[in-house]
Amino acid sequence: MAQKNRPRSTVTLAGGCVFAALAAVLTLARAAIQYPPIPYLQIDFAEIPIMISFFLFGPLAAVVAEVIHWLFLNVTGSDAPLGPAIKIVAVLSTLFGFWLGSLAYTRLGRGGSAVALSIMFAVGTLLRVAVMTVANYVILLYVGPVFFGADYMSFAKTVLQSALHWEFSSDAAALFWVLMFTALYNVINLLVGAIPAGLIVPPVARAFKSITTFDAWLSRNVIRADVTKQTKL
């Protein structure tokens, strides 16, 4: 049994490394666009390979890919270590949400790949927004002033006021809207990464299947589990 699982583990780790390399290439190519309300935030297309690795090879491969990408960002990024730290927290919270959504679907639901993906996207989005809202609150009010001697909150407030031509009635109102627009940014960034990945994986999985015994993680652990459950019923 151990020998049987070893090739799959090797494929999983290799897949994670390959898609980490693709994410690094997209980072070097600056495949990102500014988020207009808060221009210092970037909608990052480098998340697409990480999401593909999740759907194709599973959670472990995606975590490996993101950790390697995080190390790459720390070496090459101008905003290290804080920027890469924020990125890895955002991506890992999304991946964890996808995994929880897949568990919820296999245990409670049925309905095929569309329902499975919808549940995974919903849980991943909710978890990412919740985690990143807390993280940004802590960074704006505590990490920036205490550890970096920088008033991140005033900077974020000024940027948002300039972009939207708003005037905030208080610092609390400014914080609220910065967090709300940052939450919207996280939703958009997740969709930009996950939707193309969800569209790319099925044909890629079919291509692999035609030349090898490889089966995509999503099909093997979610869709097939649903078919097996309905057959038993």
Question: How does 143-167 read in b/e, with b if 16+ C-beta sit within 10 Å?
Answer: bbeeeeeeebbeebbebbeeeeeee
Alpha carbon distance 150, 129 (integer Å): 24
**Residues contacting residue 158 through CB under 8 Å, at least 6 positions apart:** none
Is residue 228 scored above 70 in pLDDT?
A: no
* Between 108 and 76, the higher pLDDT residue: 76
Percent of the chain with pLDDT over 70: 86
Tokens linked to 51: 């999401």
Is residue 207 scored above 60 in pLDDT?
A: yes
CATH assignment, 2-232: 1.10.1760.20
* Between 233 and 106, the higher pLDDT residue: 106
Q: Which amino acid is at 233?
A: L
Quick: pLDDT tens for 213-222: 456 787 777 7
- The CA-atom distances, in angstroms, between 31 and each of 21, 45, 192 are 14, 6, 12
Alpha carbon distance 76, 70 (integer Å): 10
Per-domain boundaries in the chain: 2-232
Alpha carbon distance 48, 16 (integer Å): 13
What integer is the mean pLDDT of 206-216?
A: 62
What integer is the mean pLDDT of 103-114?
A: 76
Decide: residue 217, CB within 10 A, 0-12 exposed, 13-18 middle, 19+ buried.
Answer: buried
Is residue 137 scored above 70 in pLDDT?
A: yes
Lowest mean pLDDT of 12-26, 57-71, 203-217, name the range: 203-217
The pTM score is 0.89
pLDDT for residue 227: 46
Is residue 29 scored above 90 in pLDDT?
A: yes
